[in-house]
Amino acid sequence: MTINFAHRGSLTEAPENTIPAFQKAIDHGAKAIELDVQLTKDNKLIICHDHKISRFNKDVSGLIKDFTLEEIKQIDVGSSFSDAFTGTTLATLDEVLELCPKDLLLNIEIKNIPVIYDDIEYLLLQCLSDHQRMEHVIISSFDHVALQKVQEITPSMPLGMLFYYRILNAWDYAKNSGLNITSIHPNNVYTNRDFVKNCKASGYQVYPYTVNTLERYEELVDYGVDGVFSNVPEIFTSV
Ligand code: G3P
Ligand code: CA
């Protein structure tokens, strides 16, 4: 059985990483959702993949970190997707946690490159604790120092180690990191049978991203992955 993540919600059906996208994923019966977290200028946890806002509203230049939450909530990020979503704004983590059932697995990715948010780990864990949402969560990042900080604050938190590029023996790197990594999240383009076998032999779950064809999904399942991140409802609802 696999656990597949609706990547940034159901991003083909609603603006990525927004409440409508997460609602669509839930409506499809997704068991797991992936989302990206950053900080506003006033240190509020906000859900967005890019540091720049311009992909979601071409009239707005600047970075997430340059705007307060109040300012960000004035920005329409929906109409660039379709007129039907005009007025949709970026979501706070609070809003996402209020929406999602407690047993829905959340993979919260800390977006810490190239902007580095110094206290995001503490604020994220505090928010999860406030919502009694320390279970059914994996925190991941390409920034492995962020994972280290999460572990220092909450040693029991499951950690997902993201890799964009191929690195030599990623499973050994994870072991030698001193972190309690529970899963390895590789780019799917280089995930092959040996990679999965070595990760599994080292005790890691393997969740490649982003897998958008059924053919590739089935190939990866045959290699033994534990699930994938996908934009495609047919894949993220597969079990
Ligand atoms: O967490 C998996 C995947 O989302 C990582 O890449 O760029 O889509 O955040 P990206
Ligand atoms: Ca992500």
Instruction: For the chain, list the domains and their CATH numbers.
Output: 5-37+94-236 (3.20.20.190)
How confident is the model over 56-107, as pLDDT tens digits? 999 999 999 999 999 999 999 999 999 999 999 999 999 999 999 999 999 9
Quote the ligand 2 centre to 75 CA distance (angstroms).
21
* Residue-averaged pLDDT of the chain: 98
Distance (Å, whole) CA 52 – CA 93:
18
Q: Do 189 and 181 meet the contact criterion of CB atoms below 8 Å apart?
A: no
Residue 69, Cα to own-chain centre: how many angstroms? 20
Residues 6+ apart with CB under 8 A from 214: 232, 234, 235
In the block, residue with structure tokens 């919600």 = 9
How confident is the model over 155-205, as pLDDT tens digits? 999 999 999 999 999 999 999 999 999 999 999 999 999 999 999 999 999
Span 3-29, average pLDDT: 98
Ligand number nearest to the C-alpha of 207: 1
Span 231-236, average pLDDT: 98
Q: Do 182 and 159 meet the contact criterion of CB atoms below 8 Å apart?
A: yes
Q: Is 143 in the pocket of ligand 1 (CB under 6 A)?
A: no
**pLDDT at 69 (0 to 100):** 98
Quote the ligand 2 centre to 34 CA distance (angstroms).
7
Q: What residue owns the CA closest to ligand 1's atom 6? A: 209
Whether 185 is catalytic is no
DSSP state of 209: B
Q: Is the pTM of this model over 0.95?
A: yes
Distance (Å, whole) CA 153 – CA 112:
17
Whether 7 is catalytic is yes
